[in-house]
């Protein structure tokens, strides 16, 4: 019995000692032992769970797999964390807001504006984009008494906006202020779908954020901006409650992303082409997609396969050059679908510039040749843009622009910076110090931007209306 008590005493003593040692070993002064933060959980599970609105301004599956401004931004953030981006796609802002309450969701991204009412309901992370709400109406109403110029002129119009959007909040606030506005709220249609209905004049007007309107102009040329109905608003992601560490990390990352110029490049990629929107030209482009492109599409596809350049880019380049007119001729003597000079055609082995197949093959060989001279430091889609600029103005002037970019403290290897510099080649202050001298530098900028606008329509013209 005494032996039993003796061994029991030793066992209890050792147990208390072990517990005390383990507790001490895991203790750090000033640090509480608690639950893992959401940021720690994301890193541990190696995935960032995100709700993303399916649409042109946010996220869609395009010809180059997943695309969209908010998708690219979230992908860059998930890459910085070293985790996989796990997407749950939704089709309306209302769906996104409902899913944001799910315990498995880390971030909700749906072009969501921080409004006074929303900030009372949801926990917002850092702002990443500034927009204004805009009244958008059918272009055919322009010039008529029906086309509204202010809030008072909305009375009597057929207007639909999405339910539980910032737009519905704005309308309710105006109605409370005594304005006579009869607006229907839709739970079924996205903002892009409502813009489509405006374009086909099923409804008179809707409301959309300025970035959404700008992106959709190329898909729906029959829409027109009436007026801005709100002040400037900030778009931000919704985060779960208790995600302080994640929010701090996002602020830090976003600040670095901005300072490195990556945000500017991303905005330039998605929004720069809207500055070159031309209603008549876009309208004609859609017509010619049906009437002219089918005759030559197989030649573009053959050249694309042979030279590893997207067919839609070749077709867009050809449209910019000749509007897909195989007999096109300029006053300088360039001819055909790809508008080749006689000397360039001879160099490329093109015997008949008016033969569509030969012209497309020759033009593609020429752009492929230009790509070889683009410096290796120029990466990704920037390479094609540099090559197109060289196709238009000559590689010597592109190299001059790169040198000037360095002097001006800009990045010589990205298109978003080079297109700032190129127009300066027409100013004596700058071109007199450069090897190749004067050039109409604004022309290659318009040339490249127009081509990429056409390419976007050819690649993704069907994504504006979502199932």
**Cα 218 to chain center, whole Å?**
14
Residue 415 covered by a domain? yes
DSSP assignment, residue 36?
P
Ramachandran category for residue 30: left, alpha or beta (phi over 0 → left; psi -120 to 50 → alpha): left
Q: 381 CB contacts (<8 Å, ≥6 apart)?
A: 269, 415
Give the pLDDT band of residue 278 (cuts 50, 70, 90). Answer: confident
Q: How many angstroms separate the CA atoms of 63 and 166, rounded?
A: 31
Q: Are strands 47-53 and 65-67 parallel, antiparallel or unpaired?
A: unpaired
Question: What is residue 169's predicted lDDT score, i.e. its pLDDT?
Answer: 93
For residue 1, what pLDDT is reported?
Answer: 46
Supply angle C-alpha 19, 25, 30, rounded to 5: 115
The mean pLDDT value of the chain amounts to 87
Residue 269 is predicted with a pLDDT of 80
Does 404 fall in a domain?
A: yes
d(CA 208, CA 210): 6
Where in 163-210 does DSSP place strands (E)? 183-186, 205-209
Q: What's the pLDDT score for residue 33?
A: 53
- From CA 448, how far away is CA 316, in angstroms rounded? 10
CATH number at residue 300: 1.10.530.10
For residue 282 the two structure tokens come to 């876009």
pLDDT at res. 461: 64
Q: Which residues pair with 88 in a beta bridge?
A: 51
C-alpha 140/C-alpha 143 separation (Å) is 8
**Residue 329 structural domain:** 282-460
> Is the CB of residue 361 less than 8 Å from the CB of residue 311?
no
**Given the structure tokens 């042979």, which residue do they identify?**
306
**147-174, pLDDT tens digit by residue?**
999 999 999 999 999 998 999 999 999 9
Instruction: From the candidates 321, 358, 449, 456, give the one annotated as an active-site residue.
Output: 321
Residues 290-312, mean pLDDT to the nearest whole number: 96
Residue 228 lies inside a defined structural domain of this protein: no
Would 93 be classed as within a structural domain? Answer: no
For residues 228, 205, 238, 272, the Cα torsion angle rounded to the nearest 10 degrees is -60
Tokens 């933060």 locate to: 37
Q: Angle 311-322/356-372 helices, nearest 10 degrees?
A: 110
pLDDT at 276: 66
Number of domains in the chain: 1
Closest C-alpha to 226, from 211, 205, 212, 209: 205
Task: Kindly state the average pLDDT of the residues 427-451.
Answer: 89
The confidence score (pLDDT) of residue 13 equals 43
The answer as to whether 372 is a domain residue is: yes
φ/ψ of residue 67, rounded to 5: -145, 175
Torsion, Cα 48 52 58 63, to 10 degrees, reads: 80
Q: Is residue 171 part of a domain?
A: no
pLDDT at position 19 over 90: no
Residue 250 within a domain: no
Residue pLDDT, tens place only, 186-231: 988 889 889 999 999 999 999 999 999 988 888 888 999 999 999 9
At residue 258, the pLDDT reads 93
In sequence order, what are the residues at sequence separation of 6 or more whose Cβ sits closer than 8 angstroms to the Cβ of residue 276?
446, 449, 450, 453
Token pair listed for 372: 């070889």
Spell out the residues 6+ positions from residue 386 whose beta carbon is closer than 8 angstroms to its own: 374, 378, 398, 415, 418
The answer to whether residue 321 is catalytic is yes
In a domain, 273, yes or no: no
């Amino acid at each position: 019995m005494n032996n039993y008590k003796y061994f029991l005493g030793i066992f209890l003593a050792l147990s208390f000692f072990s517990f005390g040692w383990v507790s001490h070993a895991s203790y750090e002064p000033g640090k509480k032992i608690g639950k893992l933060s959401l940021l720690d959980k994301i890193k541990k599970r190696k995935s960032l769970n995100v709700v993303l609105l399916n649409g042109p301004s946010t996220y869609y599956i395009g010809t180059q797999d997943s695309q969209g401004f908010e998708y690219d931004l979230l992908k860059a953030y998930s890459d910085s964390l070293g985790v996989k981006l796990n997407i749950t796609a939704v089709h309306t802002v209302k769906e996104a807001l409902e899913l944001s309450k799910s315990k498995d969701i880390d971030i909700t991204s749906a072009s969501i504006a921080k409004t006074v009412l929303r900030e009372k309901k949801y926990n917002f992370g850092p702002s990443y984009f500034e927009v204004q709400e805009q009244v958008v109406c059918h272009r055919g109403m322009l010039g008529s008494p029906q086309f509204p110029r202010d809030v008072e002129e909305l009375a009597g119009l057929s207007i639909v906006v999405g339910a539980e959007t910032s737009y519905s909040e704005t309308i309710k606030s105006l109605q409370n202020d005594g304005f006579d506005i009869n607006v229907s709220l839709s739970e079924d249609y996205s903002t892009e779908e409502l813009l489509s209905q405006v374009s086909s004049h099923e409804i008179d007007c809707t409301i959309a954020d300025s970035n959404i309107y700008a992106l959709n102009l190329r898909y729906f040329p029959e829409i027109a901006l009436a007026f801005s109905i709100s002040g400037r608003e900030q778009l931000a992601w919704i985060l779960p409650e208790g995600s302080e560490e994640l929010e701090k990390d996002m602020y830090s990352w976003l600040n670095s992303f901005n300072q490195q110029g990556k945000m500017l490049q991303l905005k330039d990629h998605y929004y720069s082409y809207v500055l070159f929107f031309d209603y008549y030209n876009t309208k004609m482009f859609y017509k010619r997609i049906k009437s002219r492109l089918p005759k030559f599409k197989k030649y573009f596809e053959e050249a694309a396969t042979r030279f590893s350049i997207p067919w839609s880019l070749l077709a867009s380049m050809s449209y910019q050059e000749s509007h897909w007119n195989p007999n096109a001729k300029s006053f300088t003597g360039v001819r055909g679908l790809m508008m080749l000079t006689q000397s360039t055609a001879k160099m490329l082995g093109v015997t008949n510039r008016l033969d569509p197949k030969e012209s497309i093959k020759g033009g593609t060989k020429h752009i492929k040749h230009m790509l070889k001279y683009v410096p290796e430091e120029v990466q990704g889609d920037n390479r094609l843009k540099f090559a197109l600029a060289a196709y238009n103005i000559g590689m010597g002037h592109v190299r001059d622009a790169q040198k000037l970019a360095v002097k001006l403290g800009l990045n010589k290897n990205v298109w978003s910076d080079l297109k700032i510099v190129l127009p300066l080649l027409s100013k004596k202050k700058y071109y007199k110090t450069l090897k190749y001298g004067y050039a109409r530098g604004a022309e290659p900028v318009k040339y490249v931007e127009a081509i990429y606008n056409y390419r976007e329509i050819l690649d993704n013209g069907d994504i504006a209306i979502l199932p």
